[in-house]
Every structure is written in structure tokens, then in C-alpha cells.
Structure 1
Amino acid sequence: MPTAFREAQSVPVLCRDCLARPSEQHRRCPACGSSRLARHPELFSLAIAHVDCDAFFASVEKRDRPELAARPVVIGGGQRGVVSAACYVARTRGVRSAMPMFKALQACPDAVVIKPDFAKYVAASRQIRALMEELTPLVQPMSIDEAVLDLSGTEALHGTPPAATLARFARRVEREVGVTVSVGLAPNRLLAKIAVERDKPRGMACIGAAEAAALLAPEPVTILPGVGPAFAAKLAALGYATLGQLQTLDAREAMRRFGEEGATLVARARGEDGRAVTPDRETKSISAETTFDRDLSLAAEMEPILWRLCEKLARRLGEKGFAAGGVVLKLKTARFAQRTRNVRLPGASAVPETIYAAARALLAREADGTPFRLIGIGAQPLVEAAGADRGDLADPEAPRRAARWAAMEALRARFGEGAVRAGRGLPVPR
């Protein structure tokens, strides 16, 4: 085979530790000895990245408590709570996010359980977000610990292709924030999301456009974001359990079988995704919830807890510059059945008194003797805070309630959270 042809067919390789570019035959970097070599035919042309922090909450805790490095760590609270996060050691023992805490402790009795410290996690997330924004202005946060980036056209700015820029970024996160990230690199958001799940933790995986359909064909339909168990069961009943089976449909047949979204479903099964990376993802709702220490069935027992959640929700609304156009009450029964009830507010509000009055009325209708294990409160739809709590003929007291809330928050900011409390937030004596 001519030398020029062999070189044209060679697969690009990148050392993720020193950014050297060894030749294809190397299994270790000749410059630094690292075995962490990324290799892919499209490695230096892919520009859409999905960055996901590895076991983020648990990693932040291990960063701050190095003695826990080799221990199974679970983030959560109480025997009746659920697992917020689990480190990879705990995951090898069968612990998973959203698992009831008592089941997690059955699977991993020696787990170190740590109550979540969201202020600390948010601070670390903001550090990572700032490092992302040094790479490209096109950063779309997906949650506190993951984001999508579009690095198209950044090679001239950074002097390296996106893959090398991201490898350098991952090293900075480890060095400056103290946690690790995994990167999925692809030509679109969907494939980048699928790629990042293929090499965790501390990984870098690529899926190219040329290989996407064949690579996805044997995968179950549930690998697609948004295809949950119920929809997957419906697809399986129709003979479509894998993405390859969906790929056989044309757009018209897909729409006939699955409705208006059928064509999009089949396109995604082939790895096609036209969504752009949009930096400011719209916030659709803000909420707060808690799991009771014991099942509660009386409204009088749940109301103080509901009030405290309404205060927390109002504070979160204020931090983000929003107000509630409506209120959503969430309850989970002792048998884990969920009830969701909502009501529109006469006027938008970011004041806990107003939110609580609406939520309390919803709770009164649901407190029928059923034992509940969880209660939550949410604001939806969200509206701009500037037009909230102005008052009108129907509710002239709204501005006064807003002023009282502002005064209470000012006192708390100066003298501490316990400086002032509303009586309705005090627990009911048993």
C-alpha cells in the first residue's frame, strides 16, 4: 500500500494528559507515558461536546474530605429520604440515584451518608461553568453538573481543535475545582449525550456522523433521551424495541404510527439532531420539596412544613428574578403514588404568604386521611418579578405582604436565619 494512502487512512490520536498527538500504532503516549489516548477518525473535526461531572455531589464531598477517597459515599438524608448522588464505589455495590435510602443502606451498609450541601455544589458548578465560558460563548447548562458546548470555529482562538481544547479544560477542572468530568464529542447534541455515557468516569468518547446509524442500531430505544419505560413498552408492543428497527421506517410511516413526533423519533434513532446549542436555556419552573421523617396524614401536621417550603420557594424565585404565576402542589403517598395539583394565582407573586394561601387550599382538598411521605411546592408558570405583588382592588394588601417579606429577609441576612420566624412555620406539638 502506498505510504500516502496509509497516511490518509490513519486515525487521529490525542494524549489527553499532555496533548501530544502520537501516531496510530502507539498504545501509550511516547511523550508522557499516559495510556489515556483518545482516537477516532473524526476526532479533530467534531465540535459539539456534552460535559458531565462524574458523581458530582459525591466528588465534591470527597474533594473536601480526602480520607473518604476509597470509601462508598452516598449523598442523601434520613432513612426515609432518597439518594441524591452516589460515588462510583457505592455504585458498584448497587446504589443508584433516586433509590430510597433504606434500600441503599441495605445494598451498601458501610456507606458514608452525607447530607447534601447545595451551596457548596452550586459554588463548584459555577467555577466549572466559568471555565466552560472561556472556551466558547455557546454553553447551554442542562443541570447543575452537565452542559452542552458548541466549539465550532474556536480552533483559531485556542490554537487547537475542539478535542484538544476539551482535554485541556478537563485537566483544569481537576486541578482548579478538584472534581473530574467526562466528555462526549459528536456532530450534534444527541450523539454527544449518548457518547458521554459510554466512557465514564474521566472519559472522552466520540461518535462520528459516518458511524452513528450503525452504532445506534443495536441499542434499545430507551437510550434516546425522553423515551421512558411507558413509551418504550408501547414501541416494543409494535415491534420496535431497538433503534435499528425504528431506522427502517420512513418519515411518513413513522408519523402514521406514532403521530406528529414520529418523524423526529426516527431521525433521532439514526443519530440525526438539528437542535442548536442555546446559551440561556429557559427556566420553566422552580420548586422545593421535602420527605417527612414519618408518614403524615393531617393537614395541620403538614401545613408548617408547607409554609417553610413556601419560604424556600420565594427565596429561590427572588434569587432568579422570577415570580409565580401559578402554584403546583406535589404529594407522594406512603405507597409512592404521586399527586400533583395546581392553581393559577390572581396576580403573580414572589411572596410566601400568597403562595402559601393557594397551596394550603390545595392541600386541604388532598388531606383526606391518606398517609403522605413527601410534599413539594412549585411555581409554574414563571413570570418576571418586576410586575409581581403590585396589588389591585381585589388584593390591596399585596404590596404590604411583599414589604414584610423583604424586611424579614433583610433581618435574616444581617442576624442569621433564626432571627425572625413566622408562627405558622413552627411544628405542631405531637
Structure 2
Amino acid sequence: MNRAIVHMDLDTFFVSCERVRHSELIGKPVIIGGGDRGVVASCSYETRYFGVRSAMPMKMALRLCPEARVIRGDMDWYTKMSHEVTEIIQEKVPVMEKASVDEFYLDLSGMDQFFGCYQWTREIARSVMKNTGLPISFALSGNKTVSKIGTGEAKPVGQLEIREDLVQPFLNPLSVRKIPMVGNATFQLLSRIGVRKIQTLSEMPVEVLQKLIGKNGTELWKKANGIDDSPVTQYAERKSISTEHTFSEDTMDVENMQSLLSGMVEQLCFQLRKEKWLASVVTVKIRYANFDTETKQMKIPYTAVDHTISRYVQELFKKLYTRRMRLRMVGVKCSGLVHGQHQMNLFEDTEELISLYQAMDRMKMRFGKDAVRRAGGIP
């Protein structure tokens, strides 16, 4: 049976969310981001015409497009809209993977016998736009890589079907940058040997790519040839990471417990960023000396940043620990996970703070997770 894999992507998601509730922004240049020292979280196509891009410093973006309307952003609202789209898609397809807050993979294999897969996907896209007001693009092909590249070419508000016999003609003229796993460093490396188009890459001997790039050479060659057997993984809110600490002696030292919780959050957030997860639910758990166990949880905007999640954890702990009784254990869990690259709160954080997180993560990756610690997280 031929596979039928769809990639769906909400166009300029943050901007589109703002336009749902502020229709006067439609057709206008819009930038979502922080203050003068912040960076661009999202931007409309009208600003991209002037060269504005995501993650660009705000000062540079406003020099390129001074007429742009700047909005600080509201992750609570964007998270709510993301959940609404997820529910609409999830109830209409057999298998759905939520790849990030604004993109989805659908496996419609075998549905051709009931209803054409392309027509079915168009109906889903129409339903999303009708019920949420958000524009969405999609591409249908035999695997995730080709569909994701196809969606990028179809935007904005585009719909594309790439049949098996048309995969290579579709891929060949495109830049190797279009392949999902090709970052700037890989692109520069390939460019130095004259490889800029996917066709050139696909025709290279795989052994040469292995020597040039290493273990990822084979995978890159496969993608350039439209080969990708990776499955669509069913999305489930149950995905979580957690940690618990049992005290050697039962304690009522609140200050020590708050420091411990901060340290636990720091470790969890590093794991989230390392594995490219964003959390939308935080849970705090405590166990009293008499073994009574209580938990409280809170839905939060998608994030993987220590200081943001720590704020919610401390708030939950204060609400939870209400008895004048010793505790034997505390725990923190991050759940409602989706993969995503929005690893910083781009609406609040400065370039300096983002750089600090990235530098700390690099040190932890190289020397171990305890190589750098926040002083406030050490009891």
C-alpha cells in the first residue's frame, strides 16, 4: 500500500492569531516580538518583503521595515489557538503527529478507498480556517520530508499534491537549504564544493557525502532522493518528563525546598531544550510525612525556559503546601509536550538572555548537565 503523508503548517502563526482578534492588522506589515533589545518571534509576509526574518534583532527589523506594527505577543492566546487547531485535525484523521505548536503530520494511508486523500485534506484545511480563522497550508506526498518541503513551497495558504513519479522533478531545482536537516553550517560546507541544488546532491555518490558530513551523510542523500521511511507518531498529551526528590529527613524548610524546586526546573528545562520539546502543562507534587500526597497543575504557554517555568512551579508550590507539616518528597513534571524550536520566550527575552541560555546549554552538552548551575537552584 502506498503511503499518504500530509504536512500541514499554520501560516505566520503568531501574526495570524493576532489578526483573528484584530482584523485591522490584515494586509499590514506586522512584527511579533519584544522591545528594542528583543528579537523577532514572527513576522507577516508584508514585512518579509523587506527582508525581515524570525530571530532577527528587533532594531535591525525596524530599520528594514519602519512602517511595521510591532506587537509584544501573547503566548496564552497562541497556545489556546494551537489547541483548537489540534482538536479539529485530531478528530478527522486516524493518525496525527503534532510536530510543533503550528505544524502537523497526518498519515492518511489507505483512506483513498473511502475518499480521495487530497480532497480529504482540503476539507480539513477548510474546517480549520472556517472554525478558527487561521490560514493553513499543506502538501501531500508519500513521506514526511517531501511533504514538509512541499508545504514550504505552497505557502501562503497553498495546497500541493506531489505524486510519486513527480517527487524528483519537484525536488531537483530547489536549494539544498529546503531539506529540513540542512542548517547554515551544512549549507556552507556543501556550497564550498558547488552543491547548491537538491539535484546535484541527489546525484552525488553516497560514500562521498559520508566522508564529507559524517554519519548524517546517508540520511541527507536519502532525503535529497525523496526517501524517508520515518513514521507519523500519534500525538498524545500524556508525553511528559518529570523528577522527584525524597528528603533524607522530613523537613519544613520552605526556603530550602524552593531552591530545590528551582534546581529541578533547571534540569528539566535543559532536557526539554536538548530534546527540542516545549511544555504546556506544569505539575507540582508533594508528599507529607504521613504519606498524604497532593498535586496541583497549571496550563501554561508553550515554553522550555527555566525562569518562566520556575515562576509557575513556585506559584503552584505556595498554593499546594498549606499544612504545617513536614514534607518527605517534592516533584515537578512538565507535560503536554510538542516538538518546537521556539525555545526562548521571544516576547520577553533580550538577545543577551537568549545568548546566555544557548551558551549555558552548550557547556552542559559538552561537560555535563551540572557543569553550570543557577545559584538560586542550589539548596
- TM-score, normalising length from structure 2? 0.66
Alpha carbons of structure 1 residues 115 and 257: separation in structure 2 relative to 1, 3 Å: closer
- Which residue matches 2:187? 232
- Which whole-Å CA distance do the structure 1 matches of 2:24 and 2:352 have between them? 39
Amino acid at match of 1:358: R
Whole-Å Cα distance in 2 between the matches of residues 359 and 254 of structure 1?
A: 41
**Relative to 1, partners in 2 of residues 1:332 and 1:97: Cα closer, same or farther, differing over 3 Å?**
closer
> What is the aligned-residue identity percentage?
29
Aligned to 2:74: 117
Distance 1:105 1:318 in 2: 39
Show the counterpart of 2:171.
216
- Superposed, 1:342-421 pairs within 5 Å as 342=364, 344=369, 358-360=373-375
* Residue 307 (structure 1) shift: 5.6
Asked if 2 retains the 8 angstrom alpha-carbon contact of 1:76 and 1:101, the reply is: yes
Separation in structure 1 between the aligned mates of residue 219 and residue 104 of structure 2, nearest angstrom: 23
Distance apart, 1:358 and its partner CA: 3.4
Aligned match of 2:104: 147
CA distance in 2, matches of 1:217, 1:70: 33
Per the alignment, residue 93 of structure 1 pairs with 50
Query: Match of 1:142, as an amino acid?
Result: A
Q: Is the 8 A contact 1:46 1:185 kept in 2?
A: no
In the TM superposition, residue 334 of structure 1 has moved relative to its aligned partner by 9.2
Instruction: Report the CA distance between 1:360 and its aligned residue.
Output: 2.3
The structure-2 alpha-carbon separation of the partners of 1:358 and 1:252, relative to structure 1 and needing over 3 Å to count, comes to closer
1:244 is aligned to 2:231: no
Return the alpha-carbon distance in structure 1 between the equivalents of residues 221 and 315 of structure 2. Answer: 43
- Cα distance change of structure 1 residues 339 and 185 upon mapping to structure 2, 3 Å threshold: same
Distance in 1 separating the partners of 2:228 and 2:108: 17
1:136 to 90, 93, 109: 93
Q: 1:331 to 1:112 in 2, by over 3 A?
A: closer
Change (3 A) 1:332 1:121: closer
Structure of higher CA gyration radius: 1
Contact 2:57 2:351 in 1 (8 A): no
Query: CA-atom RMSD, angstroms?
Result: 3.6
How much has 1:226 moved relative to structure 2? 1.7
Question: Which of the residues 160, 163, 178 maps onto 2:115?
Answer: 160
RCO comparison, higher one (Cα < 8 Å, 6+): 2
2:294 pairs with 1:339: no
Question: 1:132 corresponds to which letter in structure 2?
Answer: I
Letter matched to residue 146 of structure 1: E
1:181 corresponding residue in structure 2: 136
Query: Are 2:227 and 1:272 equivalent residues in the alignment?
Result: yes
> How many residues align structurally?
287
Judged with a 3 Å threshold, the aligned counterparts in structure 2 of structure 1 residues 307 and 67 are, in CA distance, closer, same or farther, namely closer
Q: In structure 1, how many angstroms separate the alpha carbons of the residues matched to 2:234 and 2:177? A: 27
Query: 2:272 is aligned with what amino acid?
Result: S
Partner Cα distance (1:63, 1:176) in 2: 11
Q: Quote the residue 1:310 is aligned against.
A: 310
CA distance in 1, matches of 2:310, 2:215: 39
**Aligned-partner Cα distance in 2 for 1:187–1:270:** 12
The answer (yes or no) to whether the contact 1:247–1:269 under 8 Å persists in 2 is yes
The one-letter code sitting in structure 2 at the alignment partner of 1:177 is T
Return closer, same or farther for 1:242/1:94 CA change in 2, 3 Å cut-off.
closer
Which AA in structure 1 matches 2:310?
A: C
Cα 1:215–1:58 change in 2 (3 A) is: same
Alignment partners' CA distance in 2, 1:161 and 1:55: 28
For 1:320, the equivalent position in structure 2 comes to: 335
3-state SS of the aligned residue for 2:164? Answer: coil
Which residue pairs with 2:272 in the alignment?
Answer: 285
Partner amino acid for 1:285? L
2:259 alignment counterpart: none
For 1:117 and 1:333, the matched residues in 2 are separated by: 21
> Residue 70 of structure 2 aligns to a residue in which SS?
strand
C-alpha contact (below 8 Å) 2:137/2:157 kept by paired residues:
yes
Structure 2: how far apart are the matches of 1:82 and 1:73?
Answer: 14
Query: Is the CA contact (8 Å cut-off) linking 1:185 and 1:205 kept in structure 2?
Result: yes
Q: Which amino acid aligns with 1:261?
A: N
Q: Contact 2:98/2:105 (CA < 8 Å) preserved in 1?
A: yes
User: 1:261 & 1:72 partners in 2: Cα distance?
Assistant: 39
Checking the alignment, whether the CA contact within 8 Å between 2:118 and 2:161 is kept in structure 1 is no
- Conserved? CA contact 2:201–2:221, under 8 Å: yes
Compared CA separation, residues 313 and 276, structure 1 to 2 (3 A): farther
**Matched residue SS, 1:197:** helix
Q: Alignment partner of 1:93: what SS?
A: coil
- Asked if the contact 2:38/2:350 (under 8 Å) is kept, the reply is no
Q: Give the distance between the partners of 2:192 and 2:22, measured in 1 at CA.
A: 49
| 1:250 and 1:263 in contact (8 A); partners too | no
Q: Which runs of 5+ in 2 are unaligned?
A: 241-270, 279-304, 317-331, 338-342
